[in-house]
């Protein structure tokens, strides 16, 4: 996610740095899909009002209508992974941000998720990551879902990763993770199983933090 934040904030800094908060608040009432007010978003997230203004400028620069669709999201994300295919991971990440499941991300959706990923508690971050892996949103992670996400991450990192990644490495990682997480061996991982396994296993936690870095 640092990649997406980077492109939004970088382009913001390049244009009209002298704007004040009145300009920003006025603009926030004029887009097609008006976001929540700055004060309300400040209360709901871990961002300051000034940080929200910066994020909003960048968001509006990329998405003048006030919403971002999946194709735009994929285009932004692909710019930061030129040696790999980021399309599938961006698809899953988009769905995680699209909490209303309506095919678009509003500014509020974006900053609420970003607040958790960047400044949430450990449990909040793990809960968000769990929902990313829970592709069908049934409250569980099965082996196929975990495999799809992990393969998407490896595809995104590209074939030029050093050392070179063998074709069976993603599946090996999934098998190892699933064996440790599925405590009762019922074939699925619950939220609590996921959180406990990550908290108990330092290597698994580092792996989850590595995956978080490409969000």
CB 196 within 8 A of CB 208: no
- For residue 163, whether the previous peptide bond is cis, meaning omega lies within 30 degrees of 0, is yes
Q: 47-70: per-residue pLDDT in tens?
A: 999 999 999 998 988 888 889 999
CB 78 within 8 A of CB 158: no
The burial class, CB within 10 Å (0-12 / 13-18 / 19+), for 30 is exposed
Residue 207 pLDDT exceeds 80: no
Residue 38 pLDDT exceeds 90: no
Q: How far apart are CA 125 and CA 115, in angstroms?
A: 10
In the chain, % of residues over pLDDT 90: 52
Task: Mark 153-192 as b/e (b = at least 16 C-beta within 10 Å).
Answer: bbbbbeeeeeeeeeeeebeebbeebbebbbeeeeebbbbe
Q: 127-173: per-residue pLDDT in tens?
A: 999 999 999 999 999 999 999 998 898 888 876 554 555 567 788 88
The burial class, CB within 10 Å (0-12 / 13-18 / 19+), for 136 is exposed
Residue 20 pLDDT exceeds 90: no
Mean pLDDT of the chain: 81
In the chain, % of residues over pLDDT 70: 75
CB 7 within 8 A of CB 58: yes
* Residues present in the chain in total: 215
Mean pLDDT of 67-85: 90
Q: How far apart are CA 150 and CA 144, in angstroms?
A: 10
Nearest to 111 by CA among 167, 35, 26: 35
Mean pLDDT of 25-53: 73
Q: 158: helix, coil or strand?
A: coil
Higher pLDDT: 9 or 38? It is: 38
Side-chain half-sphere exposure of 7, counting CA atoms within 13 A = 18
pLDDT at 161: 54
What predicted TM-score, i.e. pTM, was given to this entire model?
0.77
pLDDT at 51: 94
Residue 35 pLDDT exceeds 60: no
pLDDT at 140: 97
Nearest to 203 by CA among 173, 163, 183: 173
């Amino acid at each position: 996610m640092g990649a997406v934040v980077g492109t939004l904030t970088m382009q913001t800094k390049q244009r009209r740095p002298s704007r004040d908060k009145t300009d920003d608040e006025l603009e926030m009432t004029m887009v097609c899909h008006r976001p929540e007010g700055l004060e309300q978003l400040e209360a709901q997230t871990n961002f300051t009002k000034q940080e929200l203004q910066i994020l909003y400028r960048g968001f509006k620069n990329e998405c003048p209508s006030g919403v971002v669709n999946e194709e735009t999201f994929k285009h932004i994300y692909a710019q930061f992974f030129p040696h790999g295919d980021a399309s599938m991971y961006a698809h899953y990440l988009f769905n995680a941000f699209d909490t209303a499941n309506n095919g678009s991300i509003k500014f509020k959706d974006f900053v609420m998720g970003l607040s958790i990923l960047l400044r949430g508690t450990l449990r909040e971050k793990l809960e968000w990551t769990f929902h990313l892996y829970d592709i069908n949103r049934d409250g569980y992670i099965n082996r196929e879902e975990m495999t799809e996400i992990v393969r998407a991450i490896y595809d995104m990192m590209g074939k030029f990763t050093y050392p070179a990644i063998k074709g069976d490495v993603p599946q090996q990682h999934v098998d190892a993770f699933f064996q440790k997480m599925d405590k009762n061996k019922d074939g699925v991982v619950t939220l609590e199983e996921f959180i406990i396994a990550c908290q108990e296993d330092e290597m698994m936690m580092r792996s989850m933090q590595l995956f978080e870095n490409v969000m």
